[in-house]
């Protein structure tokens, strides 16, 4: 196992800054552990990138099935890692607090494995339909497929809201599909099939038999940490599970305000409740002068090969630190 050598590690620094702004004690344990594992495997990869990515050729033809385990946890570079983990941070806070740590860990394990299997199935189907072997040789790596599955799940639990995709309001019901198309259009180097596979896995859970199968296999009961009802967490530990719909595109609607000093949060939306709770937690620790956390990062489908866009993102983040 060899430590990965990089340049400035700016993506890692930005991720660390975002974690500090939220507060490590405000991040549920499973979410924090998965974040730590992804960072560790970026710095100390279990295998070289070309031996960790998953494809029909490598996994099915050559029977290298361990790639299904390695591919979601390895990233091409620190920007790829940053965008994925910044998105996962908010989704993890929301979903882990709703489902419980044990079920959320189980969910992540199943989603990670199943997203890879669905990816192989879709790529093999495309190969058969088009007689184009390039589909079978396309090798994918990264956590974004799992993030799309979590996005579907998050929107299922919080229907009726609006997500801002590239500044356009989109119903949460269709947000995943809108992001899938827009990411593919704006960043053609990303894995369309990988993201689509995540959406399909999410739908298998929310509208298909996957949740029932998982419950039967695990033998989970409500007393063991799983509940189909939202957890009563808005008054605990200074954080809630809201705000988890962020995939990098979400923004508040115009005129959005919060009142973190209010004695209760009954009149706020769930996203507003998270922001208010985190700010109150920071204030309780004597950090009243800290600025609000910056807006969510650009999409995890960002085309990292586009040097012009990478430089633009880098300069924008540096300006935020300077301010």
- Residue that wins the pLDDT comparison between 206 and 305: 206
Paired tokens of 13:
């620094």
Which one has a higher pLDDT value, 302 or 60? 60
pLDDT of residue 168: 75
Report the DSSP beta bridge partners of residue 163. Answer: 170
* Mean pLDDT, rounded, of the chain: 74
Question: Residue 193 belongs to a domain with what CATH number?
Answer: 1.20.1540.10
Query: How confident is the model at residue 17, as a pLDDT?
Result: 92
The answer as to whether 66 is a domain residue is: yes
pLDDT at 323: 43
pLDDT at 88 (0 to 100): 96
Flag whether 212 is in a domain.
yes
pLDDT in tens, 3-57: 455 446 889 999 999 999 999 999 999 999 999 999 999 999 999 999 999 999 9
146/170: higher pLDDT = 146
pTM: 0.66
Domain-embedded: residue 238: no
In a domain, 58, yes or no: yes
Domain holding 43, by residue range, is 10-224
| Residue partners of 250: CB distance under 8 A and separation at least 6 | 163, 164, 296
Apex CA 315: angle with CA 312 and CA 317, to 5°? 110
Evaluate whether residue 289 is within a structural domain.
no
Catalytic residue set: 144, 195
- Residue 241, domain member (yes or no): no
pLDDT of residue 189: 66
Tokens representing 22 are 């939220």
Q: What is the pLDDT of residues 265-321, one digit of tens each?
A: 444 444 455 555 444 544 444 444 444 444 433 333 333 334 444 455 555 555 554
Residue 239 domain flag: no
% residues pLDDT > 70 (the chain)? 64
Query: Is the pLDDT assigned to residue 107 strictly greater than 90?
Result: yes
Q: Is residue 271 part of a domain?
A: no
CB contact set of 131 (below 8 Å; sequence gap of 6+): none
Q: Give the chain's domain count.
A: 1
């Amino acid at each position: 196992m060899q430590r990965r050598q990089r340049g400035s590690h700016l993506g890692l620094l930005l991720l660390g800054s975002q974690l500090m702004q939220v507060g490590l004690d405000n991040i549920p344990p499973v979410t924090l552990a998965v974040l730590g594992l992804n960072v560790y495997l970026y710095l100390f990869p279990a295998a070289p990138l070309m031996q960790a990515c998953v494809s029909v050729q490598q996994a099915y033809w050559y029977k290298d099935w361990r790639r299904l385990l390695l591919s979601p946890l390895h990233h091409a570079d620190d920007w790829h890692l940053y965008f994925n983990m910044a998105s996962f941070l908010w989704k993890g806070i929301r979903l882990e607090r709703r489902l419980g740590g044990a079920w959320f860990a189980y969910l992540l394990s199943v989603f990670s494995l199943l997203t890879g299997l669905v990816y192989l199935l879709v790529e093999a189907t495309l190969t058969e339909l088009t007689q184009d072997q390039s589909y079978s040789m396309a090798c994918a790596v990264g956590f974004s497929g799992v993030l799309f599955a979590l996005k579907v799940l998050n929107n299922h639990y919080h229907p009726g809201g609006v997500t801002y995709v590239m500044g356009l309001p989109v119903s949460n019901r269709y947000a995943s599909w809108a992001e899938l198309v827009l990411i593919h259009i704006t960043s053609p180097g990303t894995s369309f099939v990988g993201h689509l596979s995540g959406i399909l896995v999410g739908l298998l859970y929310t509208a298909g038999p996957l949740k029932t199968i998982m419950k039967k296999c695990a033998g989970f009961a409500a007393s063991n940490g799983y509940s189909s009802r939202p957890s009563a967490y808005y008054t605990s530990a200074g954080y809630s599970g809201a705000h988890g719909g962020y995939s990098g595109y979400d923004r508040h609607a115009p005129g959005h305000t919060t009142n973190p000093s209010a004695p209760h949060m009954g009149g706020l939306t769930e996203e507003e409740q998270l922001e208010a709770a985190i700010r109150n937690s920071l204030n309780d620790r004597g950090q009243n002068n800290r600025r609000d956390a910056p807006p969510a990062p650009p999409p995890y489908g960002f085309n990292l090969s586009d040097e012009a866009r990478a430089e633009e993102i880098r300069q924008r983040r540096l300006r935020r630190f300077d301010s």
